[in-house]
Structure 1
C-alpha cells in the first residue's frame, strides 16, 4: 500500500511540473530577457481598429536581416498564446491588430521574440474606454504644449504606426471640428502646423488615421490636450564657426568654441555637439578630456535676448591627420539642427611678415646707408674716385693750367707768417708731392717784376679752384682787408662767386665778426676747412696723435677734405654722342 502511494505521489508531482513547464512555455518566460512594461499606451474606443506594435526594438537586439527570429503574442490575463484564428484579432508581422475592438480586449499583452539562441519579451497595454454620451471628446488624451507668437507644431501620437499599415491617411480635428489647410492651420500627415500661435489656439485636438491592412480597412485615433504658453524660444543659430579655414602649426595646441544663440524666453532644450567627417563617415567627438581630441562640457548663459550655449573643441597636439578634416558643430533641437564647420590647414610662411621684414630691412639698410654716406661722405667719394676714375671726365682740355690758386694775406707786421709757411711748404709737399695736384702760389710762380694785380687776374683765370688760407690774425686786421681789396681778381672771386672757393682756416676764429664781409658770407654759406680742429670719431682716439697734429701739420682727415673739394682728376674721355 505504501509503495503504491509513493508511485501515485511521484506521478502527481511529475504531472504538476509538466503543467508548470507548459504554462511557462506558453508565456515565453522560461529563459527570456524581460524588458518589463512599455511606457507608451494604446488608447481606443469600442468599434475602432487599434494596432498594438511589439514594443521591443528588434534592430537594437540583433540584426534582423541576418538572424532568423519569430514573434509570438500572449494575453497576460490568461497566459495563452494569441493566434490568427481568434475572432477580431489579426497578427501582421510584429503587430497585433484588433479589427473591431471592444471593452473585453482591454488589458496587457506580451510580445516575445525568439531566435535560435536567445529570447526577449516586453509587455504593452491596450486601454479601451467608452466615450461620454453626447460628446465627441475621447476619455484619454495626451498633453502637448506650444509657444505663443511663433509658428509651432503638434505631433500625432499615431505617427509610430505609419510604417506598419497600408495607405495611411490622417485627418486633424479641433474640438471635434475637422481642420483644413488655411492661413492658420496646415495639416501635413502626422504634423499639424499652427501659424502665429495665439492663446486661443489652446484646446482639444484629435488626429484620426484611416488605413488598410491585408485588404481590410480600419481606423484609430488619439487626442491631444494642447496648452499655449507665452514663453517661447526661436530657432537656434550657430554664430561660430561659420565655414572657416584656420591655419595652425603642427604640434601646437588648439581650441575652438562653438557658439549657439537661442533667442527668446523659456527653457532651451538644445544640445551642442562636435563631430568630425572622416572618410565620408561622421563621428561624434568624445567628451573624455584625457583624449587628444575631445569636447568639453557645454556652458550655458542667459542673456537679455535669450541664451548663449558654448561648447569648446580642444586639440592638445595638432597632427598631420587633423588637417583638411571638416570639424562640424551641431545644435540639436526640435526646431532644427543648424551647423557650423571649420577646417585646419598647416600654417605656411606669413607673406605679410616676410614683406614687413623685407621692407624693414630695406628701410634699415637705407638709414644705415644714409648715415654712412653722411659720416664717411668724403672717404667714400675719394674711394670711388681712386677705384673708378673712368667715371669722371678728364680735366685735360678745359683751358685751365692749375688745379688751385693759393691765396693768403701778405702783410708787413708778420701776422701772416703761419699762413705763408703753410702755403709755401706744407701745401706743396702734400698736394703736389704726394697727390700730384698743380698749384699756383703767388710769390713762387709769378714772373719777377710783374704787377701783383695783373698776376692775380691772370692766374685766377687759369686755375680751377681758389684756396684761401687765413689765421685769426692774418685776415682779421685792417691791413688784411686792404690787401684783399687791392687784388681785384681775388676780390671779384670772393664777392661775385665766379669760381669755386675753399676756405682753409688754420686757427680758431673766436671773433667771426672781424672777418671781411665777403669771407664771412662765404663761410656762413659753405663753411671752412679747419686745420686746427680734431674730429674724435672713435672711442679709441690716440691722444699722442692729437698732440702731434698742429695747424701746420693737420690730420689726415683735413687733407681728405681738401682733396674732396679739389677738382676730380678723372680719365674718362668726352664722347660725341651724335657721331657714328
Structure 2
C-alpha cells in the first residue's frame, strides 16, 4: 500500500490526455486478466492481482485528474443568449452537423480577432472533445459522424475572445425513420411557381466547401431523379422545368462525401408546394453603370435599389462586391470598417417588393478610385447587377472664378469711383505727363485761351467780380499756368464800341469764363447788360463756344439769374469758388465757405480742367520712329 501513494496524487492532466491514458490502462488491464487466467502458477496469479490493484489505482487517479480540469458550464462572465430557435435534425446512422448559433460578426470581426469555440453537453455539463472517434470539432461546428439517439439533447456553444465571452444553446433532434416513402421526420418547406422553370435548393449546399469529394443526388418519394426533359442538372439546385401541380411532393437531397478518409452521407427532405402566385425577375433600378465623381476624403453612400414585381414569398439576396486585381471580393458587412455594406432592407409594395442595400465609404481614399463596385442580386427567377465607378472630382473652378469675377468687379467699381472722385486730378496729371497725346492749340486761329466776362453795372454790385477778374484770375491762370486771357476793360482799345469789342474778342477766344456774384448778375440792370452783349448772348444760348460759369458767391434764389445762365447752370453746373469740400470724414460740419478772392485749390484745378489743353503732338511725332 505505501507504494501506491505517489500514484494517488498524480499531476493535473488535461481531459484529452487523461482520457487517452485511461484507454491505454483499460487495454492493459484486460491483457493482465487474460494472462492471469491462463497461468497455472500461483506466482503468476499473484502478479496479475498485484497489477490489477495497481491499475485500478491509476485509473482512479487519472479520472480525478480529468474531473479537476473540467470548467463549469455557463461561467458567470459569459453573456448568455439562451436557447436558439433553430434546431438540428437528423436520423440515426447519418452525419449530423451542429452549427454554433452565435453570429460572430455581430460581436467582432472574426478575421481580425483571436477567438476560440468550446462546446458543452448540457446534460452532463462536460466539454465535448474529439476523444470519441464519432465526433469532430471544426471551427464553429460539431460533426457527429454516426449520430445516435443517445446523442440527442441540448448543447451550448461558448465563444471566447481576449476580453469577452458569449454563449448560446442549441438542440440536436435525432428521430427514427417511420415513413415508408423515404420522407424524413423533419423537413423544410419550399414553394415553386407554376408554369415556369423554378429551382429547389438543397439545404446541405452550405456544407459543400467543408468536405471532400461531395456529390448530391435528388430523390422524390424514394425514386432517384435523373436529368431529363423535366429535371435539369441535379446538383445543389434542382431545376424543375415547366412546373405543374404534379411536381408538388417530398424531395430529398442526399450528399455523399469523404471525411477523415471515410465515405459518409447525410440527407435533407424538402416539402414542395406549387403556387399560382409568382414573382418576376428582379429589376435593377439603381445603380446602372454609373460614374460618380468624388473628392478625396469625402464620405459616400450609394443605394442599390431593385424592384420585384408579383406575389409570393421573396427569396431575393443582394450583395455588394468590388473588383480587385481581376478577383471579385465581397464588401464587408462589419459597419465599423471604412468600406462596408449595410443590412438589406426589404419592404412590401402594391406590385411586389422593394429591396435596398447601401454601400458606405466613410472616407474616400486614392485607392478607391477607378474600382468597379458591383451590386449583384440573386433570386430563384434570375439575377441582375449594376455597378458604379468612383473617379476624382474635377477641380472646383466656381470659387476661383467667383473670386476672379468679384475682384474684377471690385476693381471696376473702385476704378469708376476713383475716376469719378478724382476725375479732375487724373485728367490734369495725364495732361502734364503725356502732353503729346493731345492736339496743340497752335494754328487754330484763336489768340486767347479764355474770355473773362463779368457784369459792371451798379457801383459796388460787381466789385468782387471785378477784383477777381482783374487781379486774382490773371495772377493764377496767366502768372502760374501761362494761359492767355482777354479781360474786357484791360485788353480792349479805348473808344471802341463795347458790342464790337465783345464780338471780336469772343471770336478770338477758346473759352468763355462768366463770373458772377449774388448781386452782380441777379439785378434787372445786370440781366439787361447780359442781353446787350450780343456775342455773350450767342455764346450762352446758341452754344457757339464752351462756357464756364464761375460762381463767386452762393446764389440762394436761382430764379433771379438770367434765363440763359440758369439753363446753362442746370445743364453743366457752375464752379463754386465760395465752397470748400470736407477734408475729414468725421467732420460733421457743413462745407466750409471762403471768400471769393481766396478759392480752394480744388477750385483752381477744376478751372484748369475746363481750360483748353495745350498739347505737343505737332512738336513731337511719335509714329515717325
TM-score tier by shorter-chain length is 0.5 to 0.7
Once the two structures are superposed, the pairs formed by residues 445-460 of structure 1 within 5 Å of their partners are: 445-460=491-506
Retained in 2: the 8 A contact 1:297–1:312? no
Alignment partner of 1:439 is 2:485: yes
Retained in 2: the 8 A contact 1:409–1:470? yes
Q: Which stretch of the first structure deviates more once superposed, 359-368 or 517-526?
A: 359-368
Structure 2 stretches of 5 or more lacking a match? 1-35, 49-86, 98-132, 137-142, 148-174, 221-225, 253-268
Residue 230 of structure 1 corresponds to 277
Q: 2 CA distance for matches of 1:381 and 1:277?
A: 71
Q: 2 CA distance for matches of 1:187 and 1:284?
A: 29
1:237 aligned counterpart, secondary structure: strand
Q: 2 CA distance for matches of 1:188 and 1:389?
A: 102
Retained in 2: the 8 A contact 1:240–1:340? yes
1:480 aligned counterpart, secondary structure: helix
1:394 aligned counterpart, secondary structure: coil
Q: 1 CA distance for matches of 2:316 and 2:304?
A: 12
Distance change in 2, residues 1:308/1:442 (3 Å): farther
Distance change in 2, residues 1:256/1:142 (3 Å): closer
Alignment partner of 1:554 is 2:602: no
Residue 360 of structure 1 corresponds to 406
Retained in 2: the 8 A contact 1:238–1:331? no
1:436 aligned counterpart, secondary structure: coil
1:291 aligned counterpart, secondary structure: coil
Alignment partner of 1:191 is 2:232: no
Shift of 1:540: 5.5
Deviations 1:210-230 (A, max 9, x none): xxxxxxxxxxxx997442153
Q: 1 CA distance for matches of 2:345 and 2:313?
A: 15
Distance change in 2, residues 1:378/1:159 (3 Å): same
Retained in 1: the 8 A contact 2:281–2:382? no
Once the two structures are superposed, the pairs formed by residues 31-430 of structure 1 within 5 Å of their partners are: 122=145, 144-147=190-193, 153-155=198-200, 191-194=239-242, 203-204=247-248, 225-228=272-275, 230=277, 232=279, 234-240=281-287, 242-249=289-296, 252-264=297-309, 265-304=311-350, 306-315=353-362, 317-347=363-393, 349-430=395-476
Q: 2 CA distance for matches of 1:578 and 1:386?
A: 20
Alignment partner of 1:510 is 2:563: no
Distance change in 2, residues 1:391/1:421 (3 Å): same
Retained in 2: the 8 A contact 1:431–1:437? yes
Q: 2 CA distance for matches of 1:414 and 1:461?
A: 30
Retained in 2: the 8 A contact 1:207–1:223? yes
Total equivalences in the alignment: 460
Deviations 1:396-431 (A, max 9, x none): 111111111111111123211111111111111221
Shift of 1:484: 0.9
Distance change in 2, residues 1:542/1:121 (3 Å): closer
Deviations 1:253-287 (A, max 9, x none): 41313232333455544344333333223332333
Deviations 1:523-557 (A, max 9, x none): 1211111222333364166989946x332212122
1:405 aligned counterpart, secondary structure: strand
Retained in 1: the 8 A contact 2:449–2:511? yes
Retained in 1: the 8 A contact 2:198–2:380? no
Tell me how large the CA RMSD over aligned residues is: 5.2
Deviations 1:167-201 (A, max 9, x none): x9x9x9xxxxx9998xxx9978853454xx9xx75
Retained in 2: the 8 A contact 1:238–1:338? no
Structure 1 stretches of 5 or more lacking a match? 11-36, 42-52, 57-109, 114-119, 132-137, 173-177, 209-221
Q: 2 CA distance for matches of 1:543 and 1:511?
A: 23
Deviations 1:337-389 (A, max 9, x none): 43343344444531233223322322222222222222222222222222211
